Chains A and B, each alone.
Chain A
């Protein structure tokens, strides 16, 4: 009888034929991973924007908002899922609640810091020329805070892409499925495929967001060039 370890050592690290046979599934799960991430960051951004507007408008709420989102951020993801499953089941909702809650602290902090970073002179000039509060926020403060906000979005997105691999434990799709599969079967190929692709996805989306920021803030480039 051949010991198991010998069998594994003789097995190639990557079995290309497996990848070839599973191309369609790899594609599907990559998209699924992307969608789970997109929903989490999208919903997280919307909630964070709301919380930030409240925190900016009523300054004393900023402390409690960061405290609550900070607590959410520190709960280990597995513990959070375990806590949620009795209520929301092994569902996408459970996964997204967890994922969204990890984006909030980063996004709220960056949105508030970005808006706070707008020069008081700019704000005073805008008010002095007749800007109302809403237009000031949308046309002046948000665009100027954009680099800081996008920086937050990048961190949040990369964090979520990593966390989505964990949601396969509660039966969700995404690249985590391959990792889980590989671990269960002591079979390296899907493990490596899942890991490498989730890292690649993070890198690509991070670069894409950096590109979006570059396109949307030509003025900050000019300043750098000076």
Chain B
């Protein structure tokens, strides 16, 4: 199936008996193949917006297009079979096995058995479940496993669009982070048009290619890339919603590999004390790291240098804080601070890539 963008044009929703609209004249475009995170306080209409896209809720006025087609002109059942849907409570069918749950939409679409079975196998692996779980019932799975099945079920017929309504809100924080990471790598492969509703700004920033910040009544306060929103909140509402940790949140958008790392006070193992002292003086520190064959051996205090001995022969202290070049600055900061250090050693795979200091991180706190 081709990629599909979603366009909302002057969409309003008044619930019967309500004195104010849930969504008022909202126009926005959610680009194809990207994640658009809808975030805002309760009552901001984010779930209403999501449910209007698969017509679980009908708009009072306005026009919604999916893949260039006005959805009002489509049969709602057919429309929904072409859009993946993941909800917070998962809603797996308790009387059907994991395999049967995943096969839901293929079955509705009338796929033949072999094609369905092949697809189930593929999906079980894709979402990181064990194949033998296919015969279990949802009641036997943990919350995290259930939501993996929920995602697999939504992806079953390979829909171009995926609607996700607070999918990870009900699982514990550790599992949530893992599911978020998995969704991110899944999306890197699949390039679906994803609309992701959440009340958690960190989740929106982490997962969204675009973040739409909504105010009560479905008012779009700001819409843009997460770094734009964090750098330049468009108004007081957005600023307040982002909170005081705005600077810190920015750090979670920057990968360690994207900042220029320092070589740090390093000397080769063959160097003598004089050369080591020179490096320390240049860097303004009282310790030095020792490198042999491109690998970081450890470090020593200036006071531990012995005249006439190569630094490589000294007994070295290991570096306590190691981070991967793929982690974010926020993770690196966390690692440094929690170990009472000033510096983290960065590895790109097995290769020593450089050092990341607190001062380099703080440069990125301020735009």
> For window 124-182 of chain A, which residues contact chain B by CB distance below 8 Å?
124-132, 135, 140, 143-144
User: Are B139 and A223 in contact, with the CB atoms below 8 A?
Assistant: yes
Report the nearest A residue to B77, measured CB to CB: A130
How distant is the Cα of A123 from the Cα of B91 in the complex, in angstroms? 7
User: Are A143 and B77 in contact, with the CB atoms below 8 A?
Assistant: no
How distant is the Cα of A104 from the Cα of B291 in the complex, in angstroms? 86
Q: Is B36 an interface residue (CB 8 A)?
A: no
| Contact partner, B93, options A126, A128, A130, Cβ 8 Å | A126
How distant is the Cα of A100 from the Cα of B93 in the complex, in angstroms? 34
Min distance, Cβ B136 to any Cβ of chain A, angstroms: 7
How distant is the Cα of A127 from the Cα of B104 in the complex, in angstroms? 11
Main secondary structure of the interface of B (DSSP, over half): mixed
Q: Is A10 an interface residue (CB 8 A)?
A: no
How distant is the Cα of A126 from the Cα of B136 in the complex, in angstroms? 20
Given A128-B85, A222-B136, A226-B140, do A119 and B77 touch, yes or no (CB 8 Å)? no
Given A219-B95, A219-B137, A226-B140, do A128 and B56 touch, yes or no (CB 8 Å)? yes
Q: Is A79 an interface residue (CB 8 A)?
A: no
Contacting residues, chain B, for A128 (C-beta < 8 A): 54, 56, 80, 85, 87, 163
User: Are A130 and B105 in contact, with the CB atoms below 8 A?
Assistant: yes
Interface centre among A127, A129, A144 (most CB of B within 10 A): A129
How distant is the Cα of A143 from the Cα of B104 in the complex, in angstroms? 15
Given A222-B140, A226-B140, do A127 and B92 touch, yes or no (CB 8 Å)? no
Interface centre among B94, B137, B140 (most CB of A within 10 A): B94
Give a binary string over B105-124; 1 marks a CB under 8 Å from any A CB, 0 the rest.
Answer: 10010000000000000000
Given A121-B89, A125-B87, do A223 and B94 touch, yes or no (CB 8 Å)? yes
How distant is the Cα of A126 from the Cα of B80 in the complex, in angstroms? 10
Contacting residues, chain B, for A131 (C-beta < 8 A): 77, 108
Given A219-B139, A222-B140, A226-B140, do A125 and B92 touch, yes or no (CB 8 Å)? yes
Give a binary string over A111-129; 1 marks a CB under 8 Å from any B CB, 0 the rest.
Answer: 0000000010111111111
Contacting residues, chain A, for B154 (C-beta < 8 A): 129
Q: Is B78 an interface residue (CB 8 A)?
A: yes
User: Are B91 and A122 in contact, with the CB atoms below 8 A?
Assistant: yes
Min distance, Cβ B196 to any Cβ of chain A, angstroms: 15
User: Are B87 and A121 in contact, with the CB atoms below 8 A?
Assistant: yes
> For window 69-115 of chain B, which residues contact chain A by CB distance below 8 Å?
77-81, 85, 87-96, 104-105, 108
Min distance, Cβ A53 to any Cβ of chain B, angstroms: 20
Q: Is A91 an interface residue (CB 8 A)?
A: no
Interface centre among B139, B150, B153 (most CB of A within 10 A): B139
User: Are A127 and B93 in contact, with the CB atoms below 8 A?
Assistant: no
Min distance, Cβ B246 to any Cβ of chain A, angstroms: 35
Interface size on B (CB < 8 Å)?
29
How distant is the Cα of A220 from the Cα of B93 in the complex, in angstroms? 12
Given A128-B54, A130-B77, A130-B78, do A219 and B91 touch, yes or no (CB 8 Å)? no
User: Are B94 and A219 in contact, with the CB atoms below 8 A?
Assistant: yes
Min distance, Cβ A121 to any Cβ of chain B, angstroms: 4
How distant is the Cα of A223 from the Cα of B136 in the complex, in angstroms? 10
Give a binary string over B2-35; 1 marks a CB under 8 Å from any A CB, 0 the rest.
Answer: 0000000000000000000000000000000000
User: Are A129 and B80 in contact, with the CB atoms below 8 A?
Assistant: yes
Min distance, Cβ B279 to any Cβ of chain A, angstroms: 61
How distant is the Cα of A135 from the Cα of B81 in the complex, in angstroms? 14
| Contact partner, A125, options B90, B136, B137, Cβ 8 Å | B90
How distant is the Cα of A72 from the Cα of B93 in the complex, in angstroms? 37
User: Are B137 and A222 in contact, with the CB atoms below 8 A?
Assistant: yes
Report the nearest B residue to A132, measured CB to CB: B77
How distant is the Cα of A218 from the Cα of B89 in the complex, in angstroms? 22
Contacting residues, chain B, for A143 (C-beta < 8 A): 95
Contacting residues, chain B, for A119 (C-beta < 8 A): 89, 91, 94
Contacting residues, chain A, for B79 (C-beta < 8 A): 130
How distant is the Cα of A30 from the Cα of B258 in the complex, in angstroms? 85
Contacting residues, chain A, for B85 (C-beta < 8 A): 125, 128-129
User: Are A129 and B94 in contact, with the CB atoms below 8 A?
Assistant: no
User: Are B105 and A122 in contact, with the CB atoms below 8 A?
Assistant: no
Contacting residues, chain A, for B77 (C-beta < 8 A): 130-132
User: Are B89 and A130 in contact, with the CB atoms below 8 A?
Assistant: no
Give a binary string over B128-163; 1 marks a CB under 8 Å from any A CB, 0 the rest.
Answer: 000000001101100000000010011000000001
Contacting residues, chain A, for B137 (C-beta < 8 A): 218-219, 222-223
Contacting residues, chain A, for B104 (C-beta < 8 A): 126, 129
User: Are A122 and B94 in contact, with the CB atoms below 8 A?
Assistant: yes
Min distance, Cβ A202 to any Cβ of chain B, angstroms: 29
Could you jot down 15 A-B contacts, CB within 8 Å? A121-B90, A125-B90, A126-B91, A129-B104, A129-B105, A129-B154, A130-B78, A130-B79, A130-B105, A135-B108, A219-B94, A219-B96, A220-B94, A222-B136, A223-B140
A-B interface, 4 closest residue pairs, ranked by CB to CB distance from nearest: A125-B91, A121-B89, A223-B139, A128-B85
Known: A127-B56, A131-B77. 13 other contacts (CB 8 A): A125-B87, A125-B90, A125-B91, A127-B80, A128-B85, A129-B85, A129-B105, A129-B154, A130-B79, A130-B80, A130-B105, A130-B108, A222-B140
- B interface residues with partner A (beta carbon < 8 Å): 54, 56, 77-81, 85, 87-96, 104-105, 108, 136-137, 139-140, 150, 153-154, 163
